[in-house]
Structure 1
Amino acid sequence: MKGDKFFDETREQSLVKATIVEKYFGAWSQIITGAQKRYHQHAQKIGYVDLFAGPGRYKDGAISTPLRVLNTALQNEQLHDRLITIFNDKDENHVRTLSEAISDLEQIKLLKHAPQIWNEEVGDNIALQFEKMSVIPVLAFIDPWGYKGLSLRLVNAFLKDWGCDCLFFFNYARINAGLSNSKVRRHMEALFESHTQALIDRVTGLPPEEREALIVEGIANALKTYGHRYVLPFCFKNESGKRTTHHLIFVTKHFKGYEVMKEIMAKESSTDHQGVASFQYMPAAALSQGLLFELNRPLNSLKDLLLLDFSGQSLTMIDIYRQHSIDKPFLNKHYKTVLKEMEEEGLIKTSGRKSKRGFADNILCVFP
């Protein structure tokens, strides 16, 4: 089976993906537990759900995402009594080996709640379970080999409650082919819902770069129809670097989660330009490419963007950053650097308390 071959070795892409999930879980869990301590009315528990967990270890012995997340939790005393984990895989052999790998973890009994291991096929049944319950803050990871079982309904079931975020594997190569195959139309409709036919019409006959950009834009827009969501894709290429194989897509309702994940993905990017991370390893081919084009903008475009987008307005640095950085590759430090340069060049006027450390969050920027 192809799914079994996936675990034969720790491919570089798999390691990057696991690292992103592990790092975000560590940061997200600290943010959530900090909020729970301040607001005691919230349940003092957090959750991690992995619906395609695999066997726990690659065949070379390296640990995969479930064990990396558990190791992170074991190193944080605040999580010992709080964390509830669910690991699912429809393969009985994977379930057995994952159970053994978890049992072998040193100090696993420090966790008050033993990891739950399910043996179910992912589909509407699991989506329905999570739709019906009011869940604690959960980080969900949905990592199917192809696309079967992945749906907007499932993603939304995890995101509906406070503190919940989701990461999912978007198998671009398979989905790109599936959009042209009527036999798998129901799977495409599970992903794009009412947008499916319009997307098929738009991408038909387009060159590969534009087709990919529209498909990724399509899934992002479909996700956002469920509410105000921040969507951040991270692209993976094949070994030649010429073809996209898949994206890891992050979805959250909160800017803080978006900000943290953007920092993590930026550090895991293989290339950058002018200090701005690539996120996707691909050049943007046309302005019409929406989200993927915006995430490939160079830093030297930021001054012109700010002058255009905030013409005649007065905002603080932190408000500019929070409003403007969505769907763009720029981080907080980039806005501080560029706004300081714009002030020195006379492109904007500023007022507020200055700091020797840099451009402070509360400095008011007045745009012509």
Structure 2
Amino acid sequence: MADSSFFDESRDNSLVKATIVAKYFWAWAKVIIPTAKNWSKKIAYIDLFCGPGRYKDGSKSTPLLILERAIAEPEMSQMLVTLFNDQDSNNTHSLQQAIESIPDISRLTHKPILLNKEVGEEIVQAIKKINMIPTLFFIDPWGYKGLSLALIGAVIKDWGCDCIFFFNYNRINMGLHNTAVEKHMNSLFGKERADNLREQLELIKQPDERELIIVEALCQALKEIGGSYVRPFCFKDERGNRTTHHLIFVSKNVLAYSIMKDIMAGESSNSKQGVPSFEYNPAPPRYPLLYELYRPLDELENMLLNEFAGQTLTMEQIYNQHHVNKPYISKNYKKALNKLEQQGKIIADTPASKRRKYKGEITFGENVTVTFLPK
């Protein structure tokens, strides 16, 4: 059963989480609908731990944001199938009331389905046996019970199916060394990887290093079950010095990954040289001077010179070949290429003097061809 205190107030990080999911749903649906119209005629949003729909301060959580977005779009309102599940019937009863109070809810062709099921092996096996219509799955268990590699692998197996899940880093970090929850940890990482993690973490006490190792292990496990593209988004506590949880995106599609990456970048609480942090941190940097001395865009320039030396590619090709599993977004590449061009380290087929300006900066279009000088 979910910890109902989670919904006592609409904390900032909860709003950021809901915003990321709702924004991605909209972008995902707009990409999927043209193809889905030709075969399934439907798309779906499934929330396996839906909660009551509203925080106690009245703010809307993810289910209501999704439904309201669908109602506002005629095509989406006809095609969207929604399923909201929570083991706690009090939560689904509250959510049902909140849904019924949405203006124009009757515009949805498919009435939202609400269930009270425990998320476990039965649901995993049921999903494995059916061919899913294009579906965005949201898995937010507030802890870790019910969350497993088998579940995530099942929900992303079919075309157009992506998954966003809540990874309670704080509790999982402690749980890896708690024999009482060993089964849950093994189901999340895989037994062999979980055992290796336990052994590795015995020697590591630094929180930042532990976090990197645990999240990297999770990402590798997700890739092994078919989640080729994984993007974590980190949430810090109110003091800004400890990670509480991550929101993890998993997909088989690089376009989906790029879309989510841009959304998460936009919700990041800070950036360095325009490179997003991919974290929500409510506290200001503890050491502003040291913070500013880190220059990730300079690192990108050096990486591009080393990796593409002697090659000729378009800006779009450079981005597509390089950005996966890195923090850089498209505009970072454009800015880096502009700087390299000014320094005479690359040659663009359309020189800067002939490219337009936007907000005072020379643009670098995706079709501009770049030649990197040999080393």
Task: Answer whether TM exceeds 0.5 for this pair.
Answer: yes
Q: Would the alpha carbon gap of residues 171 and 209 (structure 1) be closer, same or farther in structure 2, given more than 3 Å must change?
A: same
Identity of aligned residues (%): 50
8 Å contact kept, 2:53–2:94: yes
Amino acid at match of 1:27: A
Please tell me whether the aligned partners of residues 87 and 118 of structure 1 are also in contact (alpha carbons under 8 angstroms): yes
Q: Aligned partners of 1:184, 1:88: CA distance in 2, in Å?
A: 24
What residue ranges of structure 1 are gaps of 5+ in the alignment? 283-295
State how many pairs are aligned. Answer: 352
Q: What residue is the counterpart of 2:367 in the other structure?
A: 362
For residues 9-158 of structure 1, the aligned pairs below 5 Å read 9-37=9-37, 40=38, 42-158=39-155
Q: CA deviation at 1:2?
A: 6.9
SS at match of 1:6: helix
Q: Counterpart amino acid of 2:371?
A: V
Change (3 A) 1:160 1:268: same
Does the CA-based 8 Å contact 2:77-2:108 persist in structure 1?
A: yes
**2:137 is the counterpart of 1:160:** no
Partner of 1:335: 333
Which of residues 161, 170, 175 in structure 2 aligns to 1:173? Answer: 170
Q: C-alpha offsets along residues 51-82 of structure 1, whole Å, 9 cap, x if unaligned?
A: 00001111122211111110111111111110
> Any idea what SS the aligned residue of 2:124 has?
helix
Over aligned residues, Cα RMSD in angstroms? 1.8
Per mean C-alpha deviation after superposition, the further-off stretch among 301-310 and 80-89 is 301-310
1:325-351 Cα offsets, whole Å, 9 max, x none, are 111121111111211221221112333
**Distance change in 2, residues 1:192/1:228 (3 Å):** closer
**Structure 1 residues 225 and 318: CA distance shift in structure 2, 3 A:** same
User: How many Å apart are 1:228 and its aligned residue?
Assistant: 5.6
Residue of structure 2 equivalent to 1:285: none
Amino acid aligned to 1:112: T
Measured in 1, the distance between the counterparts of 2:146 and 2:295 equals 34
Cα distance change, pair 226–2 in 1 and its aligned pair in 2 (3 A)? closer
Partner in structure 2 of residue 185 of structure 1? 182
Q: Structure 2: which 5+ runs fail to align?
A: 282-293, 358-362
What's the counterpart of residue 284 of structure 2?
none
| Conserved 8 A contact 2:273-2:295 | no
User: How far apart, CA to CA, are the structure 1 residues paired with 2:271 and 2:367?
Assistant: 29
Matched letter for residue 365 of structure 1 = V
Q: TM-score, normalised by structure 1?
A: 0.91
Q: Is the 8 A contact 1:352 1:362 kept in 2?
A: no
Q: TM-score, normalised by structure 2?
A: 0.90
Q: Distance in 2 between matches of 1:100 and 1:204?
A: 48
CA–CA distance in structure 2, aligned partners of residues 144 and 228 of structure 1:
20
1:226-265 matches, cutoff 5 A: 226-227=225-226, 229-265=228-264
- Aligned counterpart, 2:312: 314
2:360 match: none
Equivalent residue for 1:300, pick from 281, 291, 298: 298
User: In structure 2, what is the equivalent of residue 289 of structure 1?
Assistant: none
SS of 2:159's equivalent? coil
Q: Secondary structure of 1:362's partner?
A: coil
Following the alignment from structure 2 to structure 1, what is the Cα–Cα distance between the partners of residues 118 and 326?
A: 36
Q: Distance in 1 between matches of 2:60 and 2:225?
A: 35
Q: Secondary structure at the match of 2:255?
A: helix
Note closer, same or farther for the CA distance 1:64–1:260 as it changes in structure 2 (3 Å cut): same
Question: Shift in Å at residue 35 of structure 1?
Answer: 3.3
1:352 positional shift: 5.9
Name the SS for the 1:160 alignment partner.
Answer: coil
The amino acid of 1:7's aligned partner reads F
The match for 1:211 is 210
Residues 191-247 of structure 1, C-alpha deviation per residue, up to 9 Å, x if partnerless?
Answer: 111311112222222111101000000100000012361111110111111111100
